[in-house]
Amino acid sequence: MLRLNSRDPGFSKAFRRLVADRRESSENVARDVAVILSDVRNRGDAALAELTARFDGHALASEDDWRITPQACREAFEDLQPDLRAALELAAQRIRAYHEAQLPADRDETDASGVRLGARWRAVDAAGLYVPGGRAAYPSSLLMNAIPAKVAGVERLVVVTPTPKGQVNPLVLAAAHLAGVDEVWRVGGAQAVAVLAYGTQRIAPVDVITGPGNAWVAEAKRQLYGVVGIDMVAGPSEILVIADGRNDPDWTAADLLSQAEHDPAAQSILITDDALFADTVADRIGVELAMLPTARVASESWNNHGTIIEVASLDEAPALANALAAEHVQLAVEDPEPLLGAIRHAGSIFLGRMTPEAIGDYVAGPNHVLPTGRRARFSSGLSVLDFMKRTSFIQLDEAALKLLGPAAIALAEAEGLPAHARSIETRLGI
């Protein structure tokens, strides 16, 4: 675990090194993924079957080996314990309500020059969702990806999820039923991203791919951007907790480990103005890890990437937070509003001592698919807009063309594009 103090002479250099730290895929991953994508594109289902047998230990032979039926998803939902089914329904309800409020409005207006201008929003025809499988199966992620797509109006919603040695997570199937998923295919890894982009004899391609995955999945999405749309290139999870000494150190320790348990490369950072509190949190993390079933992963994350930064005043925190541009930022202070107003770069911000990041992962409503790796400087969390596109339209009558045409002709001639100019001149009789 790294310990920094903003009063130390070498702090600026050490903090810049922390900001520049990259915890994402290597050149070897990029090269391996390129080979997989090419193989699926060229050999289709045969390549997909071979790769699934090799990486997941699952044979794609019969139709049941390839696809999970809507009936199986419905049965998984009906078989849930009542309290778990109710929790899943509450999460779905809140996610749907939040994202319905994001739907953009069409525009259609005529300006002072008599030109009709506007735009129409339409959903993509088909979207593909990657859902991790096996032990790392998260029904919450399926809801967070599928519900915005359905709210946007996507007609065909396809899930790909690995089933290692045939293992299926019933919670994921239940979430697929609740969200209205149309197809569920038992494939994973970079090869699953490839099939969503290129299609095969058996599986039709989609227009947009979203959803979390490992380094190979993230790299596959990066390489296929342009063939399809993607939500983002997501890296390991991150949390930044800004806290004063009046917090419960056990709460803060648990908050930091909530992201550390995701991935050995996840990063948890605490900024505080209280040295004793910092010491106590560091101690309590050791205690929490001793009781945590996910301690092996969480310990590796905390030991290699965990950081505690002591500052003279929390007034220093926003500048540090903006440089880090973290996926999750918790403002564990009495009055979070001043810090909220000063933080420009964050995937999602959690206000006050009673708002742990984990509540946002499940039932708060806003999407938990968020930019990592400092990408919050220029990108946002998943929304309905990731499943939609905007088409503008323009209409001029003769009077409007006479008004605007001469300027367009002048610009076309200045750019050396005479056919552009001529298409306007012929209508104006020039």
Q: Which of the residues 58, 99, 328, 368 is marked catalytic?
A: 328
Q: Which of the residues 219, 310, 327, 357 is marked catalytic?
A: 327
Q: Specify whether the CB–CB gap between 417 and 411 falls below 8 A.
A: no
Write the CB contacts of 421 (distance below 8 Å, at least 6 apart in sequence): 408, 409, 412, 413
Q: Specify whether the CB–CB gap between 4 and 309 falls below 8 A.
A: yes
Is 305 assigned a catalytic role?
no
Is 327 assigned a catalytic role?
yes
Q: Which residues are catalytic?
A: 327-328
